[in-house]
Structure 1
Amino acid sequence: MTEYAVRTQTDLKRLIRAAGACDDTIAECVKSIGVDAVVHAVMREVLDRTDLRGCPAAEVLFRLHGGAPPQSQGSDVVIRVADDGTVALATMSTASVTATVAQSLPEVVRSVFGPRGSASTATRVLQWTAESSPETFGRPDPAFETVRRLLDSIDRSYHASLAELCVRSGSDKWGVHQYPQHYERHFQTVRDRPLTILEIGVGGYDNPRRGGESLRMWKRYFPRAAVYGIDIIDKSSLSESRMTILRADQADPVDLARVLEITGPLDIIIDDGSHVSAHVIATFALLFPALRSGGMYVIEDLQTSYWPHFGGKAGVYDDMETSVGFLKAMVDGLNHAEIDNRAQASTDACVKGMHFYHNLAFLEKGENRDEGAPSWLRGL
């Protein structure tokens, strides 16, 4: 990562945290980062979230001001949707502006990056440029759909389901697998938090310019999160706002230590890497300590635990050198206080819950220090 990229991501994290506070706090953060930089960051996020496929061509001017009155410091930015479907962000409008959206910048920042339910349109003024005639009055302009989708991306940050975002992003977590239903069960309650997420495995195999579909899905599902991905192939060129890709071998302690220096403590870790049992187990040992209390560690594609090609063992179901055997032993750890003469494992006291689905496991980090049954009851 370049120094500029690090600084930009840091500023974005500051802005996201400020978006959950009052207008004065947001305004102070905007002033510190710079109005133009904030406006462009917010509108790039809007563009990233908006599915404009099939929309008519349009040029929408966003005039984002500092608050009331509208003459206070602000900045203009234009979203251009061409006839061929390409989308661009510009600073200059033309005579062909379809609509102008004027709104308070702090209000837009909160709507785009704030917690669930905080979106507001109190200061928004929408003006259509074209004058209607008696023949066209009351008939929807084709460009209405383009503007609607853009504004919905501001006002309804949490509307799309994970399965929808899977399909839009091209992730194989839906269709080939049926993971979104399980992910949403565990993640929907924390969707609006400023999380730090790490996914192991970027996709695209050996091609450095392919992959990142699932990372973009997570970025869109968690609109306030910083999303990181690692891959043994250098795919850093795929990085974008709120999504940073680092080269690292998932089983190399030196590589992972370097990754954690960049990410800091993690809230969610998803292992969708090599699926080799030895790698899965080694990665867990190295990364689980960096997971915050209350965080979730997810391991995908556990079917490989039964396939010898991936270090699994067909017909042997409790070998701790396989991914599933390793996890089964951790189930005993959940009940460690009830088991006499058991050698204590390092995870016994900090794995609070485990949830298993087809080829998928969730491990919840938290205090597991409940006392066991009284000794007199065990002897009955």
Structure 2
Amino acid sequence: MIEDDTGKLIAAAGGTERDIGDALRAVGPERAVQLLADELIHRADLEDLPHAEAVVRFACHLGERTVNHLVHVSKGSARHLADAGESERATAPDVTVRYDTPELVRAVFGPTSARTSATRRVEWHTTDPIGPHSEVPRTAPLVQRLLRGTVPGPDDLAELSLRFGSDKWGLHFYTPLFERHFASLRDRPLTLLELGIGGFDDPEAGGGSLRLWRRYFHRAMICGVDIAEKTVAAGGRIRSFCGSQTDPVFLDSVLERVGPPDVVIDDASHRCADVIASFRHLFPALRPGGLYVVEDLQTSYWPRYGGSSEELSSPATSMGFLKTLADAVNHEELNGPAPDAVDEFGPHVVSVHFYHNLAVIEKGTNKEGTLPSWHPARAG
């Protein structure tokens, strides 16, 4: 995982109180509270509350010290008042949310089983009700949205795909397949690397999938690679890198910065040669137990992308290459010469799953062995 300030908080959130304390000292309490507030803003979907407006103070306690951080919500978005250069004393909050800082770290970035709200207190500074016959403050729905990020929700990938403008549901229908393979990973601190940010050469377009993954994997660092310079998706737990998916020097520089990925998703050029080159370079860097996903495999049959509908097993096409990985799973059973990919990846490919235009390859140790030579089944 990336060892930046957010990565330190995520790693510590699954550890002991001492681990969290060490991380808070390394990051700095003020910086930590800002990162926690920023993550809660991202998870709140404030655009659904376009008319809500309030100043929310996060009062986070750490021993005898309290760190106050102000967030101004207006017109469906939020900004950190400290970032805007506004004095905390000059703006009276409408509501204060109090937390012990270590507990908030766990609530935002910790595993689901460790999340609690024992020290959380909400103080309303305005008495303006939602309606004439209500005793609920008008800011209650907004605060509920901000705090829902501390409670793990059953996020539906299809809904998230539509919300963030990803084509993983709608143009394609990949989200049920992703949920099948990714559900067990959601609660882990991990690094996801996606090739292809989207939006072609427009620096302000694309990034929907990265935002989707940031929401779905609440403890993950999300990294995107695109051949065009992108600014749309940067920030929070998202990192973007500009370069070619087939450039080994560039890919090594990315891996040096983000560390071994737990998940790689190839949604980039879809050209067969590029898909194969990226897999050859990145699969060895994948952590054991990790998943490598290749999207849009329909291009394996299209000549424009280097594919073929006649030579279905050609190792120069995406599907032809990936089919050899099915033999790689059983590499220990082969008695004769095998394709290079079988020898290269066989000891490390545990499973290969094919779906409509999608493949998922699992990495692990594939050295189970075969039946001994004396076994009757091997006779003849």
Q: Identify whether the pair has TM-score above 0.5, normalized to the shorter chain.
A: yes
Q: 1:9 to 1:213 in 2, by over 3 A?
A: farther
- Provide the residue aligned with 1:3 in structure 2: none
> Contact 2:126 / 2:137 at 8 angstroms: preserved in 1?
no
Query: Is 1:40 paired with 2:34?
Result: yes
- Provide the residue aligned with 2:350 in structure 1: 352
> Contact 1:61 / 1:93 at 8 angstroms: preserved in 2?
no
SS in 1 for 2:19: helix
SS in 2 for 1:315: coil
User: Aligned AA for 2:365?
Assistant: E
Q: 1:229 to 1:95 in 2, by over 3 A?
A: closer
Q: 1:350 to 1:54 in 2, by over 3 A?
A: closer
Query: Is 1:79 paired with 2:71?
Result: yes
- Provide the residue aligned with 2:85 in structure 1: none
> Contact 1:63 / 1:75 at 8 angstroms: preserved in 2?
yes
SS in 1 for 2:370: coil
> Contact 1:20 / 1:115 at 8 angstroms: preserved in 2?
yes
Query: Is 1:18 paired with 2:16?
Result: no
Q: 1:236 to 1:130 in 2, by over 3 A?
A: closer
Deviations 1:140-190 (A, max 9, x none): 34422111111111223x432222221221111111111111111111111
Q: Which runs of 5 or more structure 1 residues have no equivalent in the other structure?
A: 1-5
- Provide the residue aligned with 1:212 in structure 2: 207
User: Aligned AA for 2:358?
Assistant: L
1:138 Cα shift? 4.3
Give the alignment partner of residue 244 of structure 2, picking from 245, 249, 267.
Answer: 249
In structure 2, distance between residues paired with 1:132 and 1:277: 61
- Provide the residue aligned with 1:62 in structure 2: 58
In structure 2, distance between residues paired with 1:318 and 1:54: 49
Query: Is 1:89 paired with 2:80?
Result: yes
> Contact 1:192 / 1:222 at 8 angstroms: preserved in 2?
yes
SS in 2 for 1:74: strand
User: Aligned AA for 2:179?
Assistant: E
Query: Is 1:114 paired with 2:105?
Result: no
> Contact 1:298 / 1:360 at 8 angstroms: preserved in 2?
yes
Query: Is 1:100 paired with 2:96?
Result: yes
> Contact 2:36 / 2:108 at 8 angstroms: preserved in 1?
yes
* RMSD, matched Cα: 2.1
Give the alignment partner of residue 303 of structure 2, picking from 284, 300, 308.
Answer: 308
In structure 2, distance between residues paired with 1:347 and 1:22: 38
> Contact 1:236 / 1:244 at 8 angstroms: preserved in 2?
no
Q: Indicate the larger mover: 304-313 or 213-222.
A: 213-222
SS in 1 for 2:72: strand
Q: 1:244 to 1:307 in 2, by over 3 A?
A: same
Q: 1:132 to 1:257 in 2, by over 3 A?
A: closer
Q: 1:103 to 1:93 in 2, by over 3 A?
A: farther
> Contact 1:9 / 1:242 at 8 angstroms: preserved in 2?
no
In structure 2, distance between residues paired with 1:260 and 1:22: 28
TM-score by length of 2: 0.91
Query: 1:95-244, aligned counterparts within 5 Å?
Result: 97-131=93-127, 136=132, 138-156=134-152, 158-235=153-230, 238-244=233-239
Deviations 1:88-129 (A, max 9, x none): 122426666332111111111110010122211101111222
Q: Which runs of 5 or more structure 2 residues have no equivalent in the other structure?
A: 83-87
In structure 2, distance between residues paired with 1:42 and 1:124: 14
User: Aligned AA for 2:299?
Assistant: T
Deviations 1:199-225 (A, max 9, x none): 000101011222211111111111211
SS in 2 for 1:266: coil
TM-score by length of 1: 0.91
Percent identity of equivalent pairs: 41
> Contact 2:127 / 2:137 at 8 angstroms: preserved in 1?
no
User: Aligned AA for 1:214?
Assistant: S
1:9 Cα shift? 5.7
Deviations 1:225-260 (A, max 9, x none): 111111111225642122111111111122212222
> Contact 2:226 / 2:243 at 8 angstroms: preserved in 1?
yes
- Provide the residue aligned with 1:378 in structure 2: 378
Query: 1:240-279, aligned counterparts within 5 Å?
Result: 240-279=235-274
SS in 2 for 1:208: coil
